[in-house]
Copies of this chain bind each other. A is one copy, B any other.
Amino acid sequence: MTKPITAKNAAKQDFMPLMRELVRAYQAFASYDARLHRESGFGLTVSQADVIFTLGNTDGLTCSEIGERTLITKGTLTGVIDRLVKKGLVKRSRMNHDARCVQVSLTAKGEKVFGEAFPLQVEALGARFERLDPDVRKQAQATLAALRAIF
Contacts and interface: CB of A to CB of B under 8 A. Distances in A.
A95 interface: no
A75 to B, nearest CB: 15
A108 interface: no
A141 B21 CA distance: 6
Contact of A7 (B17, B119, B141, B143): B119
B128 A25 contact: no
B10 A118 contact: yes
A151 B131 CA distance: 10
A151 B5 CA distance: 35
Nearest to A27: B71
A146 B140 contact: yes
Interface of A: 5-8, 10-11, 13-19, 21-29, 31-32, 56-57, 71, 114-115, 118-119, 122-123, 125-126, 128-132, 134, 136-137, 139-141, 143-148, 150-151
15 contacts: A7-B115, A7-B118, A8-B57, A10-B118, A14-B134, A18-B129, A21-B141, A22-B25, A24-B148, A26-B26, A128-B150, A128-B151, A136-B143, A139-B139, A143-B144
